[in-house]
Amino acid sequence: MAALQDFDRTLSESTTLDEDAWADEGVVLAGSVAAKLSDKDLLGLSAIWPKRPLIWQQHCAEVLGWARQDASIELLMTLVDQADPRVAMAALESLREFHPARFTAEQTKAILAALHAMLERPVGPLHQVVLGAFLATLRAAGASGR
């Protein structure tokens, strides 16, 4: 659980960074710690994320794809479904880091629904492009949806 403690601490420290510092240095540091998370750590993370500040949750969602494990997919799916829309957006963007074959049929269906719902909201042009590209990737891999 040392990796989870390191991850939690790194994300807690990231909440004090300005947006540029997070984008320049924080993402890489937190992502490298996320890459060390085990399935047990990810299970622990699923218990603590709701108790953390919104910016912590958002940073978590932004780097959780670096964990590259099925358990991180499950947690990202939970964030898409249960978290604040800003966190859900970050989680969707992290999910695009995974090959579509890694998703179960149920996950793919939920991701497609979440992508459509998010794209129906007023989102910035960059988010539209990223989410639209993810939608196209899923469809090219044989996913069906609206």
Q: Which domain holds residue 125?
A: 2-140
Q: Cβ atoms within 10 A of the Cβ of 1, count?
A: 11
- Maximum distance among all alpha carbons in the chain? 43
Region of residue 4 (left: phi > 0; alpha: psi -120 to 50; beta: else): alpha
Residues 82-107 pLDDT 10s = 999 999 999 999 999 899 999 999 99
Helix (H, G, I), strand (E, B) or coil at 43: helix
**Which two three-digit tokens encode residue 145?**
């949806």
44: in domain = yes
Looking at residue 78, its pLDDT comes to 95
146: in domain = no
Listed as ranges, residues in the chain with pLDDT below 70 are 1, 143-146
What is the value of pTM for the model shown?
0.88
54: in domain = yes
**Which two three-digit tokens encode residue 107?**
């996950």
- Count of structural domains, the chain: 1
Q: Tabulate helix, strand, coil % of the chain (nearest 5).
A: 80, 0, 20
Looking at residue 146, its pLDDT comes to 46
CATH number of the domain to which 39 belongs? 1.25.10
Cβ atoms of 7 and 45 closer than 8 Å: yes
